[in-house]
Amino acid sequence: MSNKTNLIVLSIFILLSASDVAFGQMSCGEKIPALGIFEQISQYALWLALAFMIPGILFDHKFWKKALLISAVLPFAGWAYVNFFVDYNSMKKEIFNYNAMAEATLANIAEAQDRYKSEQGTYIGDLRKIYSHIGGAGGMNECVKILNVQAGFDHWRAEAGHVSSPDTVIWDSRAGSSMKKG
């Protein structure tokens, strides 16, 4: 192949392998499940392991004793994994950081709402108009989804969530001022 063909093939390969960087998209992170799910998994696995172990201990038949005790190993392994190998502290830190991103986006919306209120005398309820009034350094984070915006003449409320966080953040202007989180 010629140098020009090699260059084109290499450019296409780089473009496809680094498409997030090439098209200006950023990774929003891996979706974190709600932490309560791990507690439920732990409880159900422990109860299931006990449900297999107790009859396995009480039965005198050798085959059923082995089958029940071996069956108790899998739920007990699930319980052990959830309790000893899941890093809850790092998950809580990641959720906190994701929620902080959502809150920063809502702070930018609060600034846009104040700007629009001073110009028009009312708050914006239309999300498309909000995007056109958002300025500032932060702007809108592409990983944060605005779930709900309710606006009236004298107050507004918005709910947002980071796509990787199990939580949502609510901002309510009735909590003192539109720049204060509710």
The pLDDT, as a whole number, for residue 117 is 84
Quick check: 150 and 157 in contact, CB under 8 A?
Answer: yes
Residues in the chain: 182
In the chain, the amino acid numbered 137 is A
The pLDDT, as a whole number, for residue 115 is 82
Strand partners, 157: 150, 172
d(CA 72, CA 144): 42
Cα–Cα distances (Å) from 97 to 6, 60, 181, in that order, read 43, 55, 16
The pLDDT, as a whole number, for residue 137 is 47
Residue 159 in 3-state DSSP?
strand
What digits encode the pLDDT tens for the residues 130-152? 766 665 545 677 899 988 888 88
Helix %, strand %, coil % for the chain, to 5?
60, 10, 30
> What residues in the chain have per-residue pLDDT under 70?
1-26, 131-139, 176-182
Q: What are the extents of the domains in the chain?
A: 35-86, 95-175
